[in-house]
Structure 1
Amino acid sequence: MAKKLNKDSVKSVSYPLLFGVIVLLLWQFQIIHGIFGADTFTLPLPSRIVSILVDNFPKMSKDIIATVTVALGGLVLGSILGFVIAMIAAMAPHWGAGGLSLATAFNAIPIIAIAPILNNLTRDFSRDPNTRSMLAKILVVMITCTVSMAINAYRGFTELKPFSLDLFKSYAAKPSTVFFRLRLPNCVPYIFTALRISVPGCVISAMVSEYFAEYIIGVGRQIRESIVLAQYATAWAYIVVACLIGIILYVTLILVESFVLRNRTKK
């Protein structure tokens, strides 16, 4: 069984890596350019993008820190808010159902619509444009991450094992005991399911919100500015940085999840 799992793990990593290497080779030798009729100005070669990354990484680090701060700040706040909504919905269904519906409605609002609105609403928050711009971007990410956590955590609180709740009631367990001994442990895997959705979403939301931010900083904003100035190689370098941020955050989440849930997966 362990050998089969190891083989599956190797395949799940090796196949995507092999596909990525093939794409990079086709890109570097301009085969992709010939297929799509592109030129090396709008679609720079990987070697050119890497050279820009190496030469300008100290300058890019400021934008990377800003984007990661917004993404993680919104992720934490949105996850906490979604968890609280789910907890209220599970413990008080009459109140909680409305909260879940409201959270779902907010999630239906496009980021490109809500980001400018939040920028205007936070203009009086501080005299520092960086501070109020950072707040607006974090709020955008928070709204994006709230719904997935609320829905998945609610499932974790309510989708219990058969007869487990009846067993606790038969022992006359207090609601707090039922929550901490039954509902909360059952909810932990669902929390990580929500985070698997929210982690890529928080990076995307952070970069999109930077397009409309008042303060010019962040990976997303630099992608926009580079495209406006026709500096496509620089724009592609920031796109690669954005991909790396998402991959690193997601891999970190998977490692934390495997550590926290290690006892649950053992057979």
Structure 2
Amino acid sequence: MSRVREGALAVGAPAVVGVAAVVLWQATVTGLGIAAYVVPAPADIATELAANLQVVATAAFGTARNAALGLLVGTVAALVAAGVSAAWRLAADAANPLVTATAVVPIVCLAPVFYTMFGTDAQTARVVVAAIAVFVPVYVNTLRGLRTVAPVHRDLLRAHAATPWQATRHVTLPGALPFFFTGLRVASSLAVISALVAEYFGGPVDGLGKAITSAVASSRYALAWAYVVGAVVTGLVFYAVTTLLERLPDAGGSPSARR
């Protein structure tokens, strides 16, 4: 019964806060007569969203496709790099400056450069931007996880004459999984944000970024916010999927790591 109560509280509390925030937003905009170009009322946003649901969904799918590809490419590259760095200290020392530089560079500013490299009629630049944004959190967290092995476990494996592969399979990888999923959760949101922002700088006329720009340019501010809602939902879907992957049986190592 306590689990049911805890589950209801976990779902109900955010829902109540969200509804209260929307009601306060509507009351503030209506009561103060705030212009739509400053911030539209939630009722107007909901009306535009309902009237253009298919268009918003199509734009969200375009952004989600690029974000998913970027997430996949960036994650695979980060896992390979983290594995090499964990096994070879010199590689980690050589990669540190590059990873640090990548972390501090406003990566979306490279979108115009990538459009020049790959062409403005291709989605490649958006995928690359998302992949680079994903790389850093996955790499840093995975590398830390691969290096986090309790000395007692290492000594126990050595006492049992375990091979390097056995030690990696039974201790190192399970211990690194919670760190990997932490990085993946952060990266999932970054992938959506990076892919969306990269759309502002050019490329094919699709995706949420272009849709928001077009709506604002035509003074359809409530519609622009409807696209923002689509972006929020897309980000939540990505985050929820990565969270569910972490909660799969044995995906996060110990039961405590999956909570």
Task: Give 1:33-182 correspondences, 5 Å limit.
Answer: 34=31, 38-123=34-119, 129-130=120-121, 132=122, 134-182=123-171
Give SS of 2:72's match: helix
The 2-side partners of 1:102 and 1:41 are apart by 42
Deviations 1:40-85 (A, max 9, x none): 4542222222222222122233212210011111111111111111
Q: Is the 8 A contact 1:111 1:209 kept in 2?
A: no
Normalised by the length of structure 1, the TM-score is: 0.87
**Corresponding residue for 1:13?**
11
The 2-side partners of 1:137 and 1:87 are apart by 26
Q: Does 1:197 pair with 2:194?
A: no
How many matched pairs? 256
**The 10-residue stretch of structure 1 (167-176 or 64-73) with the greater mean CA deviation from structure 2:** 167-176
**Corresponding residue for 1:257?**
246
The percentage of aligned residue pairs carrying the same residue is 28
Cα distance, 1:176–1:100 mapped onto 2, change above 3 Å: farther
Question: Which amino acid is 1:49 matched to?
Answer: I
Give SS of 1:259's match: coil
**Corresponding residue for 1:126?**
none
Q: Is the 8 A contact 1:79 1:146 kept in 2?
A: yes
The 2-side partners of 1:262 and 1:14 are apart by 26
**Corresponding residue for 2:227?**
238
The 2-side partners of 1:93 and 1:137 are apart by 32
Question: Which amino acid is 1:200 matched to?
Answer: S
**Corresponding residue for 1:223?**
212
Normalised by the length of structure 2, the TM-score is: 0.90
The 1-side partners of 2:149 and 2:82 are apart by 15
| Pairwise CA distance, 1:138 | 0.4
The 2-side partners of 1:191 and 1:88 are apart by 15
